[in-house]
Amino acid sequence: MIYEKKEENQKLQELEAISLRLKEIRKAKGYSNYEHIAFELGMSRSAYWRLENGANFNLKTLIKVLRFLNISLEDFFKGITIPSTK
């Protein structure tokens, strides 16, 4: 049980890192408000908000957002580290 809890925390850390990266890129691309990018993507505000707040989401959604922002997967994941399982 303790091991399962540890894995869950690692997954949350990774989702948090991804969500922070999305927020950084959105702001760097000139979208100061998440609602504007949600509108441009044809997503509900709440759906996009969940992305930037560490909710689990479909990779298809991430790819859609990155294509819109003209960011490659490689560039997006630069600097995001996966916690060690040790």
pLDDT value for 3: 44
pLDDT value for 70: 96
pLDDT value for 83: 67
Count up the domains in the chain and report the number. 1
Mean pLDDT per 10-residue segment, the chain (86 residues): 49 83 94 93 93 88 94 90 68
Say how far apart CA 4 and CA 41 lie, in whole Å.
36
pLDDT value for 85: 65
Task: Provide the CATH number for the domain around residue 52.
Answer: 1.10.260.40
What is this structure's pTM? 0.76
Say how far apart CA 9 and CA 53 lie, in whole Å.
15
How would you class 28 by CB atoms within 10 Å of its CB: exposed for 0-12, middle for 13-18, buried for 19 or more?
exposed
Determine, yes or no, domain membership for 78. Answer: no
